[in-house]
Structure 1
Amino acid sequence: MSVRQTTDDTASHPVDALPTGPAGWRSALLDHLPPRDRRLFHRFGQGPRVPAPDLRIHQAFARWAATTPEAVAAEHLGERIGYRELDRQANRLAAHLVALGVRTGDTVGVFTSRSLPMLVGILATLKAGAAYVPQDVRITPAPQLRQVAHTARCRVLLTTSATLDAVPAPPGVPRLAVDRLMAEPLPPGGHLTAPVPDRPVRPDDGCYVLFTSGTTGTPNGVTVTHGNVANILLTSPGDLGIRPGRTVAQLLNVAFDMAAWEILGCLANGGTLLVRDRDLTATAARADVLVATPSVLARIDPDRCAGVRVVAVAGEPCPRPLADRWAAGRVFYNCCGPTETTIVNTMHRHRPGAPLTIGRPTPNNTVYVLDDDGRPCRIGEVGEMWAGGDCVSAGYLDNDALNTERYAPDPFLGGGRLMFRTRDRGRWRADGELEHLGRTDDQVKVRGFRVELDAVSTVLETVPGCRRAVTLRVTDRDLVSFVAPAELDPQRCRETVAAALPYYCVPAAVHPLPELPMTGRGKVDRDALLRLALDLRWQWAHVEEAAA
């Protein structure tokens, strides 16, 4: 069940008490602001109004398959596939999915690694009217794959022959090796043995479901709609200037929402997707467009990427020197936005030497900086950022409590629209640019992925003999955990986390202590632990960034 079905008058945030009404910004909600700030609230907080594309993402791809059929759609390990052939293979698989009972509104798991069959699986799922649920089988533990398939109610699981036996399926859920189907010859003339039905897909239907870490270690599935995705990927600047003849590097883990920017953004705009293997820099050096987290981008030498025209980073704070270096002679976007607001909902074109911000709302989207009472802050005041407009996703699967906590009726747009509580702190600069000032909660970004620190600690506390565990982020790439008592085996602790959570949740170091320090109020003294971690100057064992 999505938030569009569950949000009601029981939501608890203070803004819920504000009156809603017809579409349009409500002046009554701004009475506490001086006149200048009211005007700037309108001007800064609303992205440009652009006619939203009516194309669904797979329909946009099919248009290019019809108009540029011989163009190369994707490359991987020296193998190329053209738009016509990719469309044919996706149509054939879509017909097979329909024959297995997949219907509009269903979900299909795409449990594979970077490959051409991965692309066929994604497009076929969309053509069948379903939303795809991506997971990278190289690094996702089998119990988590099983849990994702169960939570998302996947009707079918798509993988490859190499990983077919490693993909667990709930009872009654078939598994298909996409590469085997692709290897079967098409009938003479390339016609399908079964027609692909013209599935009615609405803007509010799911495009993909991504899973984020939950506070109890249980992943939360977020449904992102076709309307959400088309609004960012088929308008400027979110389309990143992709067009026929432009190459886009596919560098990221398919389970990360920025991978949808790479994959769908490329194929819906007629570009050529360069799907990498393990050689990050070699793929980036051949591309015109890069989408990356700052941590991934920092591993690439810009001097070897003379042909790169456009770079977009998001997922974690970007260091100013990194932005300055890559922005020299290129279009460089620093962006922000959680999965729930569809990849990114603010973008800033950065120029070397200029202040680095997260920019302004993207087309048809809004951003509000609100105080603790849900009222708009004055320009320059720090508050919590809420996101509104066409970016707001359909909500969490089967989690009414979390939907109520994070989604609320939008009192500024009204008309039944929703806004999303990002839990990011920020403020408007006088020039209309947004400054990001960190998180309001315990959720952090590590290597571009969101991690709930308490989720890691909860798993550590399942280790026999562990009385208490606390996890801290010490760098943008590393977590460190403290556990008590001192007799615990650090390696066993790390292995326990690795078996239960994604690789980026595994602490670089686990340090056993007799007792964890406490504050005067009886709580764990996290500041003291952080000082201890920094004073010890540990040489943290870096976890391989397999999803980069």
Structure 2
Amino acid sequence: MTTQQPKRQARALPPTDGQPPAALTLDQIFAHTAHQQPSRVAVQDGWHRLSYAQADRQAVRLASALVLGGVQLGDPLVVHCENHRQALVAQLAVLKAGGVCVPALSGPGGAAAAARETGARAVLCSRSTYDRDVRGVPSLALDDPSTWRKIASVPVEQALPRSSAEGGAHLLLVDRRKGRLIDHRSWLRSAADRSRRAGVTGGTVTIDQEPMSPVALAATWWAFSCGATLQTTPWSPDPEWPLMGTEDSVTVLTPDEYVRHLDSCPPTVRRANGAAAGPGTVVLIGGPCTRELLSRHFAVRPGTRLWSEFAPTDGAVPWTAHELLAGDGRRPHEPGAGSPVPPVRLRVTGAGGETLPQGAVGAIVAIGPPWWPEDVQYSGWHGCWTPDHTLDITGRPACGPGPENPCRPAVPTGRLEMEVT
């Protein structure tokens, strides 16, 4: 265990050379960077690069075709692409057209299931991810030259962009019966909070996630909201990926992913100053960070900052966040959750929904801001408040969702339930 390091001030990368206009939507933020610095790399995918300007131009053409094809404001469209470059163009096009991006459900037939459950107007995919089970709606393969030959003849829609800050940006399907609608404001607010906390000092956010996963989306729009580069794969095979970044980069992982990468990484390369080579900051999104993971991090990478965000529902809006220091491993409770991130308010509740006092273990629930249609969101985790007013996550309840589980009420079958984040 290393000695506790003093906290360092996070420095966020300015979005562009000039100040951005009043930031309203994800696609407007992206287009602003594309206009100010067109050659800046948006996605570094191995040896493949996609600049901000290239992505924005392709998205405008695709969005025009979508509008001509009848896409209306608020229409869902499934995005199921092979790589992050295609997924970026697809998302920008859907948002510019005023639609809502729906990631495909996992597993065979996931795109067809997502289209069927949401009533999607189209599926934007790759040739390798084309789902033959999709019925009744068109599928556009973005790596098929014939797709772009058809789009090339479509005039640019002058009403673009049709997105609005209050409109939904993504509908994340929890399963075939339930989805969470995330608007532009929620993504941008979360991205701004991450920049203030952890910073994007070198302009690179590194991930090791499939396109359109919740954590990948959180990292993607964090990077693009501040004009950074999203790096998704290494230029050549490297056993230390994605922990091979430069000192001024940020790597975003789930806690489970970080454990696997620490297990598989070879002996760490050291810089001239003795610090471990790799990213300057690791941000963990999803479940809590355990004491064992904290200890391993500072034993192997004592010079790398470690931030933990407890984001149990979708990864878009963290419920809690804090920077973990080496000394946190000596506390009597698990270090993993931290303090609530406004505007989310948290409670620990008992079997009857009553608020429990400090130290009592119960269900962790979030009390939503005014725009949530539900009063409460359920995390699926148990925990308690500690004397220092942070949340100690003790584990998952043994029972599953249903009337017998106070952590999560039963969800009626036969309909898609919506929650707005």
- Tell me the secondary structure at the aligned position of residue 321 of structure 2: strand
Paired position in structure 2 for 1:158: 124
- Tell me the secondary structure at the aligned position of residue 223 of structure 2: helix
- Pair 1:279–1:210, CA change in 2 (3 A): farther
- Pair 1:75–1:317, CA change in 2 (3 A): same
- Which one has a bigger Cα radius of gyration? 1
Q: Is structure 2 residue 107 aligned with structure 1 residue 140?
A: yes
Listed as ranges, the matches of 1:62-73 within 5 Å are 62-73=31-42
Listed as ranges, the matches of 1:506-545 within 5 Å are none
Higher relative contact order (CA 8 A, sep 6+): 1
Listed as ranges, the matches of 1:209-288 within 5 Å are 209-213=171-175, 218-236=176-194, 240-242=198-200, 245-276=202-233, 281-286=240-245, 288=249
- Tell me the secondary structure at the aligned position of residue 253 of structure 1: coil
- Pair 1:240–1:87, CA change in 2 (3 A): farther
- Pair 1:442–1:258, CA change in 2 (3 A): farther
- Pair 1:391–1:124, CA change in 2 (3 A): farther
Paired position in structure 2 for 1:292: 253
Listed as ranges, the matches of 1:420-439 within 5 Å are 420-439=377-396
- Tell me the secondary structure at the aligned position of residue 314 of structure 1: strand
Listed as ranges, the matches of 1:57-206 within 5 Å are 57-135=26-104, 140-142=107-109, 144-164=110-130, 166-171=131-136, 173-180=137-144, 184=148, 193-195=155-157, 197-206=159-168
RMSD: 3.3
Q: Is structure 2 residue 347 aligned with structure 1 residue 368?
A: yes
- Tell me the secondary structure at the aligned position of residue 374 of structure 1: coil
Greater fraction helix: 1
Paired position in structure 1 for 2:321: 347
Q: Which amino acid is 1:227 matched to?
A: R
- Tell me the secondary structure at the aligned position of residue 70 of structure 1: coil
- Tell me the secondary structure at the aligned position of residue 260 of structure 2: coil
Give the CA deviation at 1:182. Answer: 9.8
Scaled by the length of structure 1, what TM-score is found? Answer: 0.59
Q: Is structure 2 residue 269 aligned with structure 1 residue 312?
A: no
- Pair 1:358–1:280, CA change in 2 (3 A): farther
- Pair 1:159–1:90, CA change in 2 (3 A): same
Deviations 1:368-421 (A, max 9, x none): 223334343222222322213449766xxxxxxxxxxxx33xxxxxxxxxx323
Gaps of 5+ in 2: 1-21, 270-275, 402-407, 409-421
- Pair 1:158–1:183, CA change in 2 (3 A): closer
Whole-angstrom distance in 2 between the partners of 1:238 and 1:258: 19
Deviations 1:150-181 (A, max 9, x none): 001111100113333x443221x111111236
Paired position in structure 2 for 1:388: 367
- Tell me the secondary structure at the aligned position of residue 349 of structure 1: strand
Whole-angstrom distance in 2 between the partners of 1:312 and 1:182: 40
Contact 1:228–1:390 (CA under 8 A) maintained in structure 2: no
- Tell me the secondary structure at the aligned position of residue 281 of structure 1: coil
Deviations 1:4-29 (A, max 9, x none): xxxxxxxxxxxxxxxxxxxxxxxxxx
| Percent identical residues | 26
Q: Which amino acid is 2:134 matched to?
A: A
Paired position in structure 2 for 1:484: none
- Tell me the secondary structure at the aligned position of residue 327 of structure 2: coil
Give the CA deviation at 1:437. Answer: 1.6
Paired position in structure 1 for 2:405: none
Whole-angstrom distance in 1 between the partners of 2:159 and 2:352: 50
